[in-house]
């Protein structure tokens, strides 16, 4: 499945029973040349107190934190494959309970828990760059950088005129492991506001490259843009795939309540693989 171009392999233990998937197999399955190819892998299983349990893994085989686009896909998968008549569903992941709503055949609204760890205006000097960045955790840790705050070192001059010019993978690799974000590192998001519209590109940890969209990253960028650029909620963000994610909330910053992420959740194909 894919959520705005952020794609996932889904394994269903409700239908198939326990599926043994060591990290080495996950990374092989997610490989785009020697496997199925995906940004991550999710396992759906039965839950005693939710509609289902969700486990998420990064494409390198490591255990992932909350994935917003993946969560929407999992909700849509359960609704369609297990023929849930309910359009409002809940699942458990990493001992936390999440809720979502099926809007239509291709769109899901996912409710996130309150964000935390807000830290705005962190100044970083890196090789040829002076960068002002912001941090917030929306279920996954995210650095959020406005494109105009990527400056040529020592000059105060912006290096890039548009988000399309930003070398996301190059800067993402450099910023992802900063001391401030140890031991697990952070995802790196770049955003731009033009004529009241937001565009976003994301370097994802665990994938270790730019992805076509990141749900928790879009949520983080919307909250930061609301604080810094006074962009009102709901915030629409155009992802690298060209698909739009909508982030809605009441309040501001860590006080953002009723935080939701609405966007596409679509099936790509199904099949079988020998494990």
Rounded Cα distance between 257 and 267, Å, is 30
Q: How many CB atoms lie within 10 A of CB 146?
A: 22
72 close to 79: Cβ distance less than 8 angstroms: no
Q: How many CB atoms lie within 10 A of CB 52?
A: 23
- The single residue of 30, 73, 120, 214 carrying the catalytic annotation is 214
**Would you list the DSSP string of 161-190?**
SSGGGS-HHHHHHHHTT-GGGTTT--EEEE
HSE toward the beta carbon, residue 154, CA cutoff 13 A: 2
- The single residue of 67, 73, 90, 120 carrying the catalytic annotation is 67
Whether 73 sits among the annotated catalytic residues: the reply is: no
Whether 214 sits among the annotated catalytic residues: the reply is: yes
Q: Could you tell me the end-to-end alpha-carbon distance of the chain, in angstroms, rounded to an integer?
A: 20
Structure tokens at 163: 């988000």
Q: How many CB atoms lie within 10 A of CB 247?
A: 29
Rounded Cα distance between 112 and 262, Å, is 11
Phi then psi for residue 110, to 5 deg, are -115, 130
Active site residues: 67, 214
């Amino acid at each position: 499945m894919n959520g705005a171009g952020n794609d996932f392999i889904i394994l269903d233990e409700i239908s198939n029973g326990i599926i043994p998937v060591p990290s080495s197999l996950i990374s092989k399955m997610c490989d785009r040349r020697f496997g199925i190819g995906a940004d991550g892998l999710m396992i759906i299983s039965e839950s005693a107190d939710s509609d289902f349990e969700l486990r998420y893994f990064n494409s390198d085989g490591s255990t992932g934190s909350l994935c917003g686009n993946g969560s929407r896909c999992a909700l849509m998968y359960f609704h369609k494959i297990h023929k849930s008549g309910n359009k409002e569903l809940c699942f458990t992941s990493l001992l936390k309970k999440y809720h979502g709503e099926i809007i239509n055949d291709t769109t899901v609204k996912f409710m996130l828990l309150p964000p935390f760890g807000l830290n705005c205006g962190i100044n970083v000097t890196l090789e040829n760059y002076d960068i002002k960045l912001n941090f917030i955790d929306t279920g996954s840790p995210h650095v959020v950088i406005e494109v105009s705050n990527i400056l040529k070192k020592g000059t105060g001059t912006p290096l890039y005129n548009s988000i399309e010019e930003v070398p996301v993978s190059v800067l993402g690799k450099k910023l992802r492991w900063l001391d401030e974000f140890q031991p697990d590192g952070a995802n790196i998001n770049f955003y731009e506001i033009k004529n009241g519209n937001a565009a976003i590109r994301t370097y994802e940890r665990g994938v270790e490259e730019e992805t076509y969209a990141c749900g928790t990253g879009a949520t983080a960028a919307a909250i930061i843009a609301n604080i810094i650029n006074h962009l009102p909620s709901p915030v629409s963000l155009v992802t690298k795939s060209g698909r739009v994610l909508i982030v809605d909330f009441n309040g501001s910053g860590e006080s953002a309540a009723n935080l939701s992420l609405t966007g596409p959740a679509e099936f790509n194909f199904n099949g079988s693989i020998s494990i």
